[in-house]
Amino acid sequence: MNVFIQRHPGADAVTKMKNASRHSRSLQDGNRQEGAEKDDAATTDGSDLYLRLNIGGKSYCIRKELYTEERTLMHDIVEATHEQRLAIVDGCDPITGEYYIERNSRIADHIIDFFATGSLHKPQNMCIEKFKEELAYWRISHEHVSLADFLALLEESLSPILHIIRASM
């Protein structure tokens, strides 16, 4: 699976969202002409392919087809209906169509990048406990952390114990 993620307000992301929105509207207009009823909430997403998220104040346009197969919170969000999403996220801006999630924006890029690449890197200068909290929140397994970052996490976790052992020698 591939994932397309662009941060707003990049011209490419805006163009893709407009094109996807136009395509979605033309499909919806065609369905309405055939007498099919469309759920108005579905149109707030922009299209059937992309979802707009705002995580900690940073806007993202993410492709609904995620890279990872492991079931994560992001899977729940992209597969949910508008009403279900409102129960998961912290809010929705009806003007932009963005679903808001109140999380640390410093790690948001790393989390979103994980869904594009399948590899997760710990941000520099981030407390290990905060990083673990974010992994738990998003329901991302520790096994997705890159080997170098995993070793650094392990060393950081063991550091207090190693300090005590060295001091007692």
d(CA 72, CA 5): 17
Q: Residue-wise pLDDT tens for the chain (169 aa)?
A: 333 333 333 334 333 344 434 433 433 344 444 333 333 333 444 467 889 999 999 999 988 887 777 899 999 999 999 999 999 999 999 999 999 999 998 899 999 988 888 888 888 888 888 988 999 999 998 887 766 666 666 777 777 777 787 787 7
Phi and psi at 81, nearest 5°, equal -75, 170
Tell me the fold of 5-168.
Answer: Potassium Channel Kv1.1; Chain A (3.30.710)
Is the peptide bond preceding residue 123 cis, with omega within 30 degrees of 0? Answer: no
Closest CA to 24 of 3, 40, 2, 7: 40
The letter for the amino acid at 31 is N
Q: How many residues in the chain?
A: 169
